[in-house]
Homo-oligomer: A and B are copies of this chain.
Amino acid sequence: MFDFTFHNPTKIIFGAGMEALIGAELNAAEIKKVLLVYGRNSVIKSGLLERVLASLKASNITCSQYGGVDSNPLISHTREGVALARREKVEAILAVGGGSVLDESKAIAVGALTEEDVWDFFVGKEVTRALPVFTILTLAATGSEMNGNSVVTNAETRQKYNIASPHVYPKVSILNPELTHSVPLNYTAYSAVDAIAHVIEGYFTKQPGTHLQDRLVEGIIKTVIETTDLIMAEPSHAQARASFMWTATLALNGLTPAGIGEHNFPNHMIEHALSAIYNIPHGAGLSIVMPAWMKWYVARNPSQFERFAKEIFGLDSAAAGIAALEQWFVTIKSPVRLGEVKIPATDIEAIAENAEGLARQWGIGELYTRETIAEILQLAV
Contact = CB atoms under 8 A, between A and B. Distances in A.
Interface of A: 1-16, 18, 177, 209-212, 215-216, 218-220, 222-223, 226, 239, 242-243, 246-247, 250, 255, 258-259
Given A1-B242, A242-B259, A246-B258, 11 more contacts: A1-B243, A3-B15, A3-B18, A4-B12, A5-B11, A5-B14, A6-B11, A212-B246, A215-B219, A216-B219, A219-B219
Contact of A1 (B211, B218, B246): B246
Contacts of A258: 12, 14, 246
B11 A247 contact: no
A148 to B, nearest CB: 13
A219 B223 contact: no
Nearest to A216: B219
A259 B14 contact: yes
A226 B211 contact: yes
B222 A215 contact: yes
Question: Which residue, of A8, A215, A216, A218, has the highest number of chain B Cβ atoms within 10 A?
Answer: A215
Contacts of A243: 1, 210-212, 259
3 pairs of A and B residues whose beta carbons are closest in the complex: A3-B15, A215-B219, A1-B242
Nearest to A1: B242
A223 B226 CA distance: 23
Given A12-B5, A18-B3, A219-B219, A246 B259 contact: yes
Contacts of A223: 211-212, 215
B16 A12 contact: no
A76 B10 CA distance: 37
14 contacts: A1-B242, A2-B15, A3-B16, A4-B14, A6-B14, A7-B12, A9-B9, A209-B239, A211-B243, A212-B220, A212-B243, A212-B246, A215-B220, A246-B258
